[in-house]
Amino acid sequence: MNQKCAKKMERKLNKLKHVVFKETGIVCSLNPTNNIVICNAGLVNGLSEETILEHFSVYGTLNNIVLVPGKSCSFVSYVELDMACKAYEALNGQLPIAQDNKPVYLLYAERLPQHSIDSRKVWDELPGGLVILDDFITENEEKLLLSLCCFDDSLVSQMKNRQVRHFGYEFRYDNNNVDKDKPLDEKIPKECDFLWKRLHENTDWKQFVPDQLTVNHYSLGQGIPHHVDTHSAFEDPIMSLSLNSAVVIAFKRDDRDICVKLPPRSLCIMSGETRYDWTHGIIPRKSDVVLSNTGSYTLLPRGIRVSFTFRKIRQGECNCQYTRNCDSYIRKNNSELQIAASEIERLHVIDVYENIALHFNETRNKPWPNVLEFVNSFDVGSVMLDVGCGNGKYLGKNKHVFDVGCDTSCALLDVCKKNGFETFLTNCLQLPFKDAVADGVISIAVIHHLASEERRLQAIEEMIRILKVDGRALIYVWAKDQHKNNEKTSYIKQDRKNRKSDTDVVVADENSEAPVSKGMTLPVHVNRTQFKHKDVLVPWRLKNQQNTVEDTFLRFYHVFEENELSDLCSKLENVEIERCYYDQGNWCVVLRKTLIKNS
């Protein structure tokens, strides 16, 4: 190095010394120690342990590599000082592994940073339920198994990351499950039978006999994304035999990351929490960094690896305790939720309207101007459906259209019939109309009575289904916020008036709750006040002709936050939101049906 270059290098290193100190708080210098800091390459530049190991282990045994999250510097530590010195002399300003293949600049560090990304990576323990049996098969047996599976293109599916072949049952990657009633003609080869005899004789798994085999063929640099095998598809345990090459597999749960080396001919048994609750995956790369028993890092080059994964198809649903990854639990829970929701709607919406129908009819005569304007915007010969028409206050308003109402309340539809309106009884979740027959749909103050988001979305989906392309729907729901723009809605304003006439009504307790469905309770709303909760029971005081309260019924409401209605509508692909507004304590949208986008 000439003098000019040396000067330049000195300046550069001096500058980097400050950068490293600022980023990590570690003092570094030109005075040799066992630790070398790579000042200008780290995780943010895409530097990996394996790259560091590949180049730095040439000069001696490493006992640590530290990549600092979010930083552009990294650290290596040698067992002996002279190894560090050799590496420093050879690599400083030379080794082109910094960004854009620029050379790295090195300094000696007084110590290593304490918190590294690898402090989460654990080598010396296994997750619960994981067993690795080394040398489960001999080299001859390995050869035999490898010969069973030729990977010629006509037999295998080419995956993004690897080649796979299935025996017994096809594993479908679209739904991550198997067609249990469609077994393949090709069963697990008989040549595998010795494995189970050996397993039963030597381990605690005395019963395990698989009926499904997936063979994965990993070329150099290939891996498999982190996953949990679908609970409802397979029993516990799952066994995987590694052939031809070792690999490091990672198990993750929460912030835990356990690295496990799978040598060739080893059997990896995943059971219990490993099978159900930990994900496992293989990073796509050409070699693995392995921490040896002596605490030093070595690079383990990969070869072509073939794994035989044996599983037993589960009949029925999974019943495990690891619910967060359990598809069976999630499905069951969801269907229980839907059952509870439909029960709430039956008791606290449908039955209530039936009971209060006549009184309700007397109080609901004035149509809202913005809804009328929408109804009147349809041309001669248009078909309109009023979903949840109640007493039919929007029916027959536009004389040029054919309008039909529907509702769950017999009593309210009888009122419609008396007024000469056409209706039918239905739940808004299943509209008994053909697809694409309506030019317009209105649904005023209806879907806030549905007790789950899935059901509210389903109701909107149904309205859109029966609309023609370019047809429009108007939806009104009650808003949680009854004080929009510092102005009280008439719902709140009516408070004083009502209390005066209802002096005999005990003011409801602000925190009262009422039972609704199996062990569930919901808060009871205080009439004419701002909403405190989103899912509430709103009392309806049934009055007789003398205007005295005869009975109180609790109606279920889900009151909507701002944007909630439009967010829900935008989940549908064939919908365009034309308008979204606030009208007298309600959130409102005008939707237009479109062709499905991008098709």
Partner 1 sequence: MKLLTHNMLTSKCMKGVSVGYPLSIKALDIRTVEVEFNPEFVAKMIPKIDWAVLCSAAESLGKTELPKEVIDNYENDQDFLKKVHHILLEVDVIDGELVCPETGRKFPINNGIPNMLLNEDEIYL
The residue assigned the tokens 């835990």 is 256
Q: Which stretch binds partner 1 (CB under 8 A): 6-14, 52-60, 68-76, 380-388?
A: 380-388
Task: Return the H-helix or E-strand segment holding 354.
Answer: helix 351-363
- Binders in 267-306 for partner 1, by CB under 8 A: none
**Nearest distance from C-beta of residue 347 to partner 1, angstroms:** 14
Q: Considering all CA atoms of the chain, what is the largest pairwise distance in Å, rounded to the nearest integer? A: 108
Of 214 and 398, which CB lies nearer to partner 1 in the complex structure? 398
Closest CB to partner 1 among 331 and 483? 331
Stretch that binds partner 1, among 81-89, 203-211, 424-432, 550-558 (CB under 8 A): 424-432
Residue 67 interacts with partner 1 (CB under 8 A): yes or no: no
Edge-to-edge strand list for the sheet holding 224-227 = 121-122, 256-262, 247-253, 279-282, 224-227
Can residue 316 be called a binding residue for partner 1 (CB under 8 A)?
no
Helix, coil or strand: residue 193: helix
Number of residues that bind partner 1 (CB under 8 A): 31
Q: Are strands 247-253 and 256-262 parallel, antiparallel or unpaired?
A: antiparallel
Using CA atoms of 53, 57, 61, 62 in order, give the dihedral in degrees to the nearest 10: -30
CA-CA distance, 265 to 306, in Å (whole number)?
10
Region of 116-124, 131-139, 231-239, 419-427 interacting with partner 1 (CB under 8 A): 419-427
- Which DSSP category does 102 fall into? P
Residue type present at position 557? Y
Looking at 126-134, 144-152, 429-437, 557-565, which segment touches partner 1 (CB under 8 A)? 429-437
State the DSSP string of 31-90. S--SEEEETT-SGGGT--HHHHHHHHGGGS-EEEEEE-TT-S-EEEEESSHHHHHHHHHH
Which region among 16-24, 420-428, 486-494, 577-585 touches partner 1 (by CB under 8 A)? 420-428
- Rounded Cα distance, 314 and 296, in Å: 43
Does 324 participate in binding partner 1 (rule CB under 8 A)?
A: no
**Parallel/antiparallel/unpaired status of strands 106-109 and 28-29:** antiparallel
Give the nearer residue to partner 1 in terms of CB position, either 26 or 341. Answer: 341
Report 170-189 residues binding partner 1 (CB under 8 A): none
The least distance separating partner 1 from the CB of residue 437, rounded to whole angstroms, comes to 5
Positions 119 through 158 that interact with partner 1 (CB under 8 A): none
What torsion do the CA atoms of 40, 44, 47, 48 make, to the nearest 10 degrees?
140
Q: Using the rule CB under 8 A, is 410 a contact of partner 1?
A: yes
**Interacting stretch for partner 1, rule CB under 8 A, among 73-81, 351-359, 388-396, 422-430?**
422-430
Q: Which is nearer to partner 1, 279 or 574 (CB)?
A: 574
What's at 118, amino acid-wise?
Answer: D
Rule CB under 8 A: say whether 427 interacts with partner 1.
yes
Antiparallel, parallel or unpaired: β 586-593 and 297-301: unpaired
Q: Is 339 among the residues that bind partner 1 (CB under 8 A)?
A: yes
Angle at alpha carbon of residue 295, lines to 291 and 300, rounded to 5°: 25
Would you count residue 404 as binding partner 1 (CB under 8 A)? yes
Site of interaction with partner 1 (CB under 8 A): 335, 338-339, 342, 379-381, 383, 400, 402, 404, 406, 408, 410, 413-414, 417, 420, 422-427, 429-434, 437
